Amino acid sequence: MSIIDALYQDAILTHYRRPRNRGVPPTFDIEQEGVNPSCGDEVTLYLSIDNGKLASLSFTGQGCAISQAAASMMTEAASGRSIDDVRRLALAFTAMLRGEEPSEELGELALLKSVAKVPARVKCAALPFVTLLRALEPLT
């Protein structure tokens, strides 16, 4: 199996074809756009914050399978966690994309590990998480 084949594992394609938490929710607290010009990927995140927690996270966007699957996986992994946990998750994910071993809390997101071997696609997988960190920046 080539590296590119490995990238398009079933789980990634499933998230791309049937994304979770996709769409603009009726109410939200923070809206944050992100773009990856090198591939043309776009994501917009919608966050609801409640009592120091990321109560819900939805997204809209377009782009390659990796960027959109990563966004879908991220919404499942990050929803319901404390803001600190969400930041830690995002940093663990970007560390994995730099070649570090995935930490346990990444769960299904560890499936995107092979992206680290394809430098051109690292920004695709990182886009949703970089955008999420930016959205959380104003929160202490």
Q: Which positions touch Zn ion (CB under 5 A)?
A: 39, 41, 64, 67, 124
Q: Please answer whether residues 119 and 8 qualify as being in contact, where contact means their C-beta atoms are separated by less than 8 angstroms.
A: no
**Least distance in angstroms from the C-beta of 66 to Zn ion:** 6
Contacts of 71 (CB under 8 A, 6+ apart): 19, 43, 45, 59, 61, 127, 128
**Least distance in angstroms from the C-beta of 36 to Zn ion:** 6
Contacts of 16 (CB under 8 A, 6+ apart): 65, 68, 69, 72
Q: Which is nearer to Zn ion, 39 or 110 (CB)?
A: 39
Q: Which is nearer to Zn ion, 36 or 58 (CB)?
A: 36
Classify residue 33 by its DSSP letter.
E
**Least distance in angstroms from the C-beta of 70 to Zn ion:** 9
Structure tokens at 48: 């609801």
Q: Which is nearer to Zn ion, 94 or 103 (CB)?
A: 94
Q: Which is nearer to Zn ion, 64 or 130 (CB)?
A: 64
Q: Which is nearer to Zn ion, 67 or 114 (CB)?
A: 67
**Least distance in angstroms from the C-beta of 65 to Zn ion:** 8
**Least distance in angstroms from the C-beta of 124 to Zn ion:** 3
Q: Please answer whether residues 129 and 69 qualify as being in contact, where contact means their C-beta atoms are separated by less than 8 angstroms.
A: no
Cα separation values, 134 from 12, 73, 77, Å: 24, 18, 17
